[in-house]
Structures are given as C-alpha cells and as structure tokens.
Amino acid sequence: MIIARTIKEVRENIGEWRREGLSVGLVPTMGYLHEGHASLVDRARAECGKVVVSDFVNPTQFAPNEDLEAYPRDFEHDCNLLEEHGCDMVFYPSVGEMYAPNAATYVEILDEMPKQLCGKTRPIHFRGVCTVVSKLFNIVQPDKAFFGQKDAQQLAVIRRMVRDLSYGIEIVGCPIVRESDGLAKSSRNTYLNAEERKAALVLSKAVFRGEELVRSGVTDSGKILAEMTEIISAEPLAKIDYISAADGETILPADEITDGVLVAVAVYIGKTRLIDNFIAGGLK
Ligand code: AMP
C-alpha cells in the first residue's frame, strides 16, 4: 500500500493508474478506522480498479468549541486495517498540505439543506465537509466515491454538491455497520465510558423501533418520532439534540413517512454527541 503525504505523490500515482486504464474509487475518512470504514473500502475494492482512502481530520468542519484536538487518531492501526482490506493508496496529508495559511475559498450549499438536522448545532460543519471533499475530488479525480449512510445528511449534501457543481463522480451510499448490540460504529464511541456505552444503546433502540413502526405501516412521522423520543428520554444520561424526519434528498422536514424519508437522531450521551438513522424503504 502506498502511503502518500503530498498532493503531488497522489497525482503521480493516479496518473500512472490512469495510463494503465484503471478506474479509481475514493473513500474519504477522518481516520481511527473501524469496520464501518472497512465496509466502504470493501465496496470500493469490489467496484474499482484502484482504491484510495484519505485519512485526514479536517479542521474546517469543526467549530472552535468542538472536539478537533481530542478527535482520536491512530495512523498505524489505520494502515493495518487498510492493508488488510486491499487499499492501494492512503492519502495522509498534514493540515498545511491541505490548507495554505491564508486559504479562504469554500464550497457551501446556500440553501436550507445544510442548516437542518446536524447543521442546527453545527452551522459551519457542512461548509467544511463540502470544501474538503471537493478538494479531495480535485486531487484524486475518482470515478466513484463511497460514503456511509451513518452520516446520512452528509451523504445527501455530497450528492447535492456533485450535482450542483457537475462533478462527473458517482456517489455510492453504503449501509450503517453496527456493533453486535446495535450501536452504530463510530470513531467517537471511544469517548464513552462503560456506563455511557450502555446508555448509548438508546439510539439504536429508538431507530429499530422507528423502523419497525414504518414496516408495520405507520406513516405519521409525529407518531414515530414521539415513540422514539420516549425511548431516548427514558435514559438519564441521554440528552436529545434532535429526532427528526426529513426528505432524504432535500433534508427538509417530512410529515409523512414515505420511501426515501430519513429518520435521524442526534443525542448527547454525557459529553459525546452520537448520531444514528434509518431510511424508510432502505438506502437507494
Ligand atoms: P468519518 O471518518 O467518521 O468521517 O467517516 C468516514 C466515512 O465512513 C463516512 O462516509 C461515514 O459515513 C462512514 N462511516 C462511519 N461510520 C460508519 C458506519 N458505522 N457504517 C458505515 N459507514 C460509516
């Protein structure tokens, strides 16, 4: 596996692969990799000639009060996991390699979409995500890029950016990978102590119950969100950020649950903010 720390090295290797006629898949990550990330790499491996994974904790998507400094990092572990899953190149740039000291150009969706759900408490988050992903798209120029449904709003935002800016890149959404007890895998789960880890199960419990209600034919989002709220509120360590139903493409509120509607939750367990969701009728 090639470890590339500079944009130049990435471009040189991709140029070579292109000359050989190979397709390229990109999996953007912030590192501290787990089986959720690995599932994206496996999918890219199955669909593309060469697989590039970026491993970069992107400062522009964190607000000053968020966990940029504390965000877990373990590059050696990441390399081992990536090698096991057949990644061809990991792009591991420094902040200085990605952002010039006076970088001031951003990619931002100027409508309601990035202000919904996670955007309410994280107002600059999706601007940072769009900016870094658009830079990665320019650097790697992949045929396909792979994103998890775990971050469903992010997936919708990226699809929108790709459409609006005419990137010729296919965006592939991949299902949520969970721990055996249901908790969605996340690099941030490492922040949880034993008691919080148990409490965190209310997210998946609520998501599974919501999914069950939808499968049984309930379409009133009010009723579904109320039951989910009840499950999460019963946990003393949980503080709800939001529990919402939204159109899967526009992320605007949805009153009726039809196929493609996203039902998403964000909950603080102690100081750790966790997210989970389901998509009615499954991920398309
Ligand atoms: P992150 O490193 O958290 O920025 O995530 C990088 C990519 O992995 C994003 O597209 C995430 O949606 C995806 N991802 C993270 N956790 C999971 C999971 N549990 N299941 C599937 N995809 C995931």
pLDDT tens per residue, range 162-201: 999 999 999 999 999 999 999 999 999 999 999 999 999 9
Please tell me whether residues 58 and 191 are part of one structural domain: no
CA 20–ligand 1 middle distance (angstroms): 30
Domain assignment present for residue 211? The answer is: yes
Beta carbon of 148 within 6 Å of any ligand 1 atom: yes
Domain assignment present for residue 200? The answer is: yes
Please tell me whether residues 59 and 127 are part of one structural domain: yes
Beta carbon of 174 within 6 Å of any ligand 1 atom: yes
Q: What residue type is 149 in one-letter code?
A: Q
Domain assignment present for residue 181? The answer is: no
Which pLDDT does position 284 carry in this prediction?
85
User: Are 211 and 278 a contacting pair, CB within 8 Å?
Assistant: yes
Q: Which domain holds residue 79?
A: 2-174
Q: Which one of 30, 37, 75 would you pick to mutate in the ligand 1 pocket, going by the greatest count of ligand atoms within 8 A of its CB? A: 37
Q: Which residues of 125-138 are buried (b: 16+ CB within 10 A; e: fewer)?
A: bbbbbbbbbbbbbe
pLDDT tens per residue, range 104-139: 999 999 999 999 999 999 999 999 999 999 999 999
DSSP one-letter string for 96-147 = HHHS-TT--------SSGGGSTHHHH-TTHHHHHHHHHHHHHHHH--SEEEE
Beta carbon of 157 within 6 Å of any ligand 1 atom: no
Distances (CA, A) of 52 to 2, 12, 63, 269: 9, 13, 28, 33
Q: Where are the alpha helices (DSSP H) in 165-200?
A: 194-199
Q: The domain that contains 33 carries what CATH number?
A: 3.40.50.620
Rounded to the nearest 10 degrees, the angle between the axes of helix 75-84 and helix 35-47 is 40
Please tell me whether residues 120 and 244 are part of one structural domain: no
Q: Is the full-model pTM beyond 0.95? A: yes
Residue at which a domain ends, from 174, 196, 211: 174
Residue that the structure tokens 């196929």 belong to: 259
Domain assignment present for residue 269? The answer is: yes
Q: The domain that contains 223 carries what CATH number?
A: 3.30.1300.10
Tokens of 248: 């899967």
Structural domains counted in the chain: 2
User: Closest residue (by CA) to atom 22 of ligand 1?
Assistant: 148
With 0-12 / 13-18 / 19 or more C-beta atoms within 10 angstroms meaning exposed / middle / buried, residue 65 is exposed
User: Closest residue (by CA) to atom 18 of ligand 1?
Assistant: 36
Beta carbon of 118 within 6 Å of any ligand 1 atom: no
Domain assignment present for residue 167? The answer is: yes
Tokens of 38: 């690995």
Q: Verify whether residue 85 is a known catalytic residue.
A: no
Domain assignment present for residue 282? The answer is: no
